[in-house]
Amino acid sequence: MKFLQFALLILGTVVMVSCAKGEKKSETPETPQEVTLESGLKYIDTVVGTGEQPKKGDKVVVHYKGMLADGKEFDSSHKRNQPFTFDIGVGQVIKGWDEGVMSMKVGGKRTLTIPPELGYGAQNVGGGLIPPNSTLTFEVELLEIKAPAKPLEVPTEGRKKMDSGLEYVDLVVGEGKSPTSGKKVTVHYIGQLEDGKRFDASVDRGQPFSFNIGVGQVIKGWDEGVMSMKVGGKRLLIIPPELGYGERGAGGVIPPNAKLIFQVELLDCE
């Protein structure tokens, strides 16, 4: 999505020896072996999970720590005390994550070494936080695979249509102030396609999203649809392609010329 590059923006065997009476027992864990995949991704399983293995499109919950090749940490869900949730295998995260987490099992811990072409490539991410062409290391723990979320209900009654083609339904009318152009707003949101397939949701991550409204930081349908809300309000936006991602689509999860459905709750504005 245009909001932020969401992303941003991840065996040991115990050998029992000598259990005869009077003899000491020793436990010697084998050193976990590094595996290199054809793509160039490398990983080491520090703990092999015993739970379910995700499949493409599943919503997975992980804890992670991200580091550069020199060991410098640039991100950590542990420090935020906030696990990260994403739909696996559909382009919501960097390729190295999609490939590296897909073969894990719940309860497992894996260290991923991700070459630039499976990470952020030549991009300069986060104002230099991740330099161009960086090899990344992620320590990832697969906590959970969530059941698919129920699609948003899109009522036919109570819809209002703007001249631009944007439609909306106010589910809750807020009583706070309305934002003005250029000001920072904070929202929770759920985004889905017309067929009910969810492609992104801040509520799944438990992390609200902030942006400056009316200055093109988000798609046009958001700028227009959120501008007339009030803090405390919750609104369903039905966004035509020309106010969304148009012919280009987005991130492999939003096809070209897709109509988008967003439920947006305005939490705060400056």
Residue 157 gets which letter from DSSP? T
The residue from 64, 189, 209, 262 that is catalytic is: 64
Q: Catalytic residue at 75? A: yes
The residue from 3, 10, 86, 94 that is catalytic is: 94
Please, are residues 219 and 239 in contact by the beta-carbon 8 Å criterion? yes
Token pair 């320590």 is found at: 139
Q: Catalytic residue at 43? A: no
CA–CA separation, 31 and 154 (whole Å): 53
Residue type at 232 in one-letter notation:
G
DSSP 54-93: P-TT-EEEEEEEEEETTS-EEEEHHHHT--EEEETTTTSS
CA–CA separation, 227 and 171 (whole Å): 16
The residue from 43, 84, 86, 138 that is catalytic is: 138
DSSP 182-242: T-EEEEEEEEEETTS-EEEEHHHHT--EEEETTTTSS-HHHHHHHHT--TT-EEEEEE-GG
Token pair 């991130």 is found at: 251
The residue from 6, 44, 74, 268 that is catalytic is: 74
Looking only at the bridges linking them, the beta strands covering 209-212 and 234-239 are unpaired
The residue from 120, 189, 209, 245 that is catalytic is: 120
Q: Catalytic residue at 10? A: no
Q: Catalytic residue at 86? A: no
The residue from 45, 58, 75, 87 that is catalytic is: 75
What amino acid positions are annotated as catalytic residues? 64, 74-75, 94, 120, 138
